[in-house]
Amino acid sequence: MQEHLSILLVVIPLVAAPIAAMLPRGRMPWMVTLMVTFICAILAGMQLWTVVHDGTISYELGGWAPPWGIEYRIDAVNAMVALIVAGIAALTLPYALLSVEKEIPERQIPLFYSAFLLCFTGLLGITQTGDIFNVFVFLEISSLSSYALISLGRKRQALTSAYQYLIMGTLGATFFLIGVGLIYSQTGTLNMMDLAERLPEVSGLKTVHTGFAFIMIGVALKLALFPLHLWLPNAYTYAPTVITIFLAATATKVALYVMLRILFTIFPDGFVSATPTGDLFILSGMAGILSASIYAIYQMDIKRLLAYSSVAQIGYMAMGIGFASAMGVTATIIHLFNHALMKGALFMAVGAIIYRIGVCRLDNIQGLGRQMPWTFGAIVISGLSLIGVPGTAGFVSKWYLVLAALEQEAWIAVAIILIGSLLAVVYMGKLIEALYFKPATETNLAVKEAPMLLLIPTGALVLANIYFGLDTELTVGVAERATQALGVAAK
């Protein structure tokens, strides 16, 4: 089984998806999905372990040797991202049971889980594959299923936001495909390692540059790089809670991984700094941090507030990419991991509030902090992590990012990272003020703490936030390995 690890991660959820759809209503589809996510999480853990100890895994699909056949090629980067995807899914699923029963009509539940598994397959597939066209295929699998999942939200706006996301996502995927086509026309290969070998010869060609631009913008759309983030707030706000948690913690991360792979592994060294790419990322990162954080301050809907905060956090990661140094990319990878932890925890805690009162506007949640102390605690701790207080995971990534910026002597970037943290204090402060310092309304006084099934996964993520804030051996170690694996030149 050991040698089939990487393919199993994709095949198991793919096979389980139609099974979940065919199962009778009730809790069976959930059980199946739960099992699948747990198995995948364990496999992903084993995969990371293998990669770290034995080096890169190369798996030939159907016995066809690369570059003719499709190759699954796993090194520290994708093993880590795959673990994030599978781990978050495994934590989301116990949470999903009650939340989904409350938010999704009963007859749609099997289909919901089926779509969830497809989305899961797609995201895992993107991380596993070493073939750029295959990335496109999995990108479409995950996107199409996530459009369906978002449209299942309770409000009618869910339909429009899913539609909007569909248009944007399709545009992104098309751009990606156009770019891949252009590059294929010059190199004649789709295998990533093969591309990396052949591209240096042709990297001066205008066609390659244009192809690169299309690919980069296509992926930037999927990862909601400012100002291509416009689909994200709506999608996160109106999607069912569980989907918001899952997508916020994984989808943009996977897209970010694709971006890293393309910029640093596939395209030759120095390509990022020889083209406007690096500056574009730094600029868009800085603009994103400032404007999205300010937008977040003015939101009344908490999910929307957190969605804008996600855009700002993506800005931090973009900045790290833009520096194009080993330190910057390490910071990005660490933040990729840590942001999955904190946003996962925050959306879960907010989901617990939605589970109890049905809405999550700032004026509806007044005084709930005292009614739901554990949920409130989770929001406070993961909020501190988001701000970047020492002792939490958020601090570690901000620290590395600031170091990377100092290394480049990018003083403005340093200032903006710090200002971004201050803005995060303001918007998290607004949330905490409403939850704790405002007097509770009559109806809120009757609200009880969320059920254990929601609290335990939330708590696990919150503890992870603290744990990875104190013990950085794992995150930093893996991230440094990952940076090496990507082929970023160390300075």
Partner 1 sequence: MSELPPFLLYFIAAFLVPASRGRVRKIILLVTPIVAALHIWLNIDTGVLSTYSVLNIELTFMRTDKLSLIFAYLFCLASFIATIFALQVNDTKQETAGLVYVGSALGAVFAGDLITLFIFWELLAISSVVFIWARGTERAIDTGMRYLIFQVLSGVFLLAGALVQYQATGSLAFDHIGLEGIASWLIFIAFGIKSAFPFLHNWLTDGYPEATATGTVFLSAFTTKVAVYALARGFAGEEILVYIGITMACFPIFYAVIENDLRKVLAYSLINQVGFMVTGIGIGTALALNGAVAHAFSDVIFKGLLFMTMGVVLHRVGHINGSSLGGLYKSMPKTTAFCIIGALSISAFPLFSGFVSKSMVMAALVQEDYSYLWLFMLFASAGVFHHAGIKIPYFAFFAHDSGLRPKEAPINMLIAMGLAATLCIFIGTQPQYLYSLLPWEADYWPYDVTHVLTQLQLLFFSALAFVWLNKRGIYPPELRSTNLDVEWIYRKFLPAGIHRGLIFFRNAKESTMTAAIAPMYSIRYSFSQSTIAKYHLSESWPTGSMVLWISIILVAYLLLDIFVYG
**Ordered DSSP codes for 95-144:** HHHHHHHHHS-GGGHHHHHHHHHHHHHHHHHHHHB-BHHHHHHHHHHHHH
- The answer to whether residue 210 forms part of the interface with partner 1 (CB under 8 A) is yes
- The answer to whether residue 221 forms part of the interface with partner 1 (CB under 8 A) is yes
Closest approach of partner 1 to the CB of residue 221, in Å: 7
Of 93, 97, 98, the closest CA to residue 356 belongs to 98
- Give the up-direction half-sphere exposure of residue 416: CA atoms within 13 A in the CB hemisphere: 25
Closest approach of partner 1 to the CB of residue 362, in Å: 15
Beta strands in 37-101 (DSSP E): 57-60, 71-74
- Of 7-15, 186-194, 222-230, 458-466, the window that binds partner 1 (rule: CB under 8 A) is 222-230
Return d(Cα 197, Cα 207) in angstroms, integer: 17
Q: H helices within 358-472, ranges in order?
A: 368-371, 373-387, 393-407, 411-432, 442-445, 452-470
Residue whose entry in the numeric block shows the structure tokens 């390509």: 271
Return d(Cα 84, Cα 186) in angstroms, integer: 35
Closest approach of partner 1 to the CB of residue 158, in Å: 12
Closest approach of partner 1 to the CB of residue 121, in Å: 27
**What is the x/- site pattern for partner 1, positions 147-186, by CB under 8 A?**
----------x--xx--x--xx--x---x-----------
User: Contact with partner 1 (CB under 8 A): which of 437, 446, 474, 490?
Assistant: 437
Return d(Cα 322, Cα 333) in angstroms, integer: 13
Which residues inside 458-477 make contact with partner 1, applying CB under 8 A? Answer: 470, 472, 476
Contact status, residue 343 vs residue 303, Cβ threshold 8 Å: no
- The answer to whether residue 434 forms part of the interface with partner 1 (CB under 8 A) is no
User: Contact with partner 1 (CB under 8 A): which of 81, 96, 228, 424?
Assistant: 228
Tell me how many residues contact partner 1 (CB under 8 A). Answer: 44
Please report, for residues 188, 208, 273, 284, 413, the alpha-carbon distance to residue 279 in angstroms, rounded to integers and kept in the order given.
Answer: 30, 19, 8, 8, 12
Closest approach of partner 1 to the CB of residue 78, in Å: 25
Which residues inside 236-265 make contact with partner 1, applying CB under 8 A? Answer: none
User: Contact with partner 1 (CB under 8 A): which of 12, 213, 311, 349?
Assistant: 213
In the complex with partner 1, the residue whose CB is nearer, 111 or 297, is 297
3-state secondary structure 9-36: HHHHHHHHHHHHHHCCCCCHHHHHHHHH
- The answer to whether residue 422 forms part of the interface with partner 1 (CB under 8 A) is yes
In the complex with partner 1, the residue whose CB is nearer, 336 or 454, is 336
In the complex with partner 1, the residue whose CB is nearer, 283 or 357, is 283
In the complex with partner 1, the residue whose CB is nearer, 167 or 445, is 167
**What is the x/- site pattern for partner 1, positions 380-419, by CB under 8 A?**
---------xxx----x--x--xx--xx------x---x-
Cβ within 8 Å of residue 279, ≥6 positions away = 322
- Give the up-direction half-sphere exposure of residue 391: CA atoms within 13 A in the CB hemisphere: 5
User: Contact with partner 1 (CB under 8 A): which of 26, 227, 358, 373?
Assistant: 227
- The answer to whether residue 230 forms part of the interface with partner 1 (CB under 8 A) is yes
Closest approach of partner 1 to the CB of residue 70, in Å: 29
Return d(Cα 139, Cα 122) in angstroms, integer: 6
- The answer to whether residue 64 forms part of the interface with partner 1 (CB under 8 A) is no
SS3 191: strand
Cβ within 8 Å of residue 159, ≥6 positions away = 151
The site for partner 1 (CB under 8 A) is made up of 157, 160-161, 164, 167-168, 171, 175, 206, 209-210, 213-214, 216-217, 220-221, 227-228, 230-231, 233-234, 274-276, 280, 389-391, 396, 399, 402-403, 406-407, 414, 418, 422, 425, 437, 470, 472, 476
